[in-house]
Structure 1
Amino acid sequence: MPELSISAETVCFLIVKAREFDAKDQVSEPDPGSNAADDHMISVLEDHGDDPSVQEITQTIDALDVDEQVDLVTLAWLGRGDYTVADWAELRDEAAGAHNNRTASYLLGMPLLPDHLEEGLSMLGMSCEEFEMGRL
């Protein structure tokens, strides 16, 4: 099994935040003139540009060193189901070669990111179960 440079706890935090981001809906009222409470707080579920989940994900990924970012991308690619754990070294080399300073944007644009990260961890024998239980 490959040894990750990024902690499973950090990956799990990103999975939780990415699920919050994925749950957002398109903005239905771009410039609401009323009180959010009057609108039943619908704006909380909409994907506004100042989304705190996106900010937390971006800040967390930007704070990672290059090896941690490469491992995170490799986990997402592994979790897509196109590769096996035996392909880790080759896949990681590919992710390292593609690395740039836009890792957060790249990952946020990836459909099903939390599912891919979770599956990648699972393929390495890890789980977010304990992390998620501590957050409930």
Structure 2
Amino acid sequence: MSKPPPSLTIATEKICFLIIKAREFDVKDAVTDPDDGSNATDDGMISVLEDHGDDPAGDEIRGMIGAMNEDEQIDLVALSWLGRGDGTIGDWDELRGEAARAHNKRTAAYLLGIPLLADYLEEALAQFGLSCSDVEMDHL
């Protein structure tokens, strides 16, 4: 008989919301015309897919992570490592311990710097037996 997965301090709904926002953030491309003053509709809305410094998805992610308590932030970092393949669900305590030791005030910047963050978080949730398809997102 296998033992149940460890418990998370962060709600699955928060992780799933972050996955959605990380996917929005990940599709951004480098800015091709930084001084463009034309109307976005004249340019085929290309600027919407460019990574401008005032990106709403990035701002939302930073705000959400900044509002989380330390334990939730530690879980997020450990989940990203788990999903990336740095360990298995059996290594959760060690991964989480390392994330706690590395914790600082730059959690959002660190996570936003991980190119496949959404995929890693989704993979980690699967290892916990969780899925975003089972989550109600209306109250976030």
Please confirm whether the aligned pair reaches a TM-score higher than 0.5, indicating the same fold.
yes
Matches within 5 A, 1:1-136: 1-131=5-135
Structure 2 counterpart SS, 1:25: coil
Q: CA deviation at 1:47?
A: 0.4
In the alignment, structure 1 segments of 5+ residues that lack a partner are none
Q: CA deviation at 1:130?
A: 3.4
Structure 2 counterpart SS, 1:82: coil
Q: Is the 8 A contact 2:12 2:135 kept in 1?
A: no
Structure 1 counterpart SS, 2:100: helix
- Cα displacement string for residues 77-121 of structure 1 (whole angstroms, at most 9, x for unaligned residues): 000112111100111011000000100000000121111111011
**Distance in 1 (alpha carbons) for counterparts of 2:98 and 2:51:** 32
The alignment's C-alpha RMSD in Å is 1.4
TM-score by length of 2: 0.92
The structure-2 alpha-carbon separation of the partners of 1:133 and 1:59, relative to structure 1 and needing over 3 Å to count, comes to closer
Q: CA deviation at 1:132?
A: 8.2
Structure 2 residue identity aligned to 1:21? F
Structure 2 residue identity aligned to 1:26? A
Structure 1 residue identity aligned to 2:61? I
Identity %: 64
Structure 2 counterpart SS, 1:37: helix
**Distance in 1 (alpha carbons) for counterparts of 2:83 and 2:58:** 21
Q: How many pairs does the alignment contain? A: 134
**Distance in 2 (alpha carbons) for counterparts of 1:110 and 1:102:** 13
Structure 1 residue identity aligned to 2:113? G
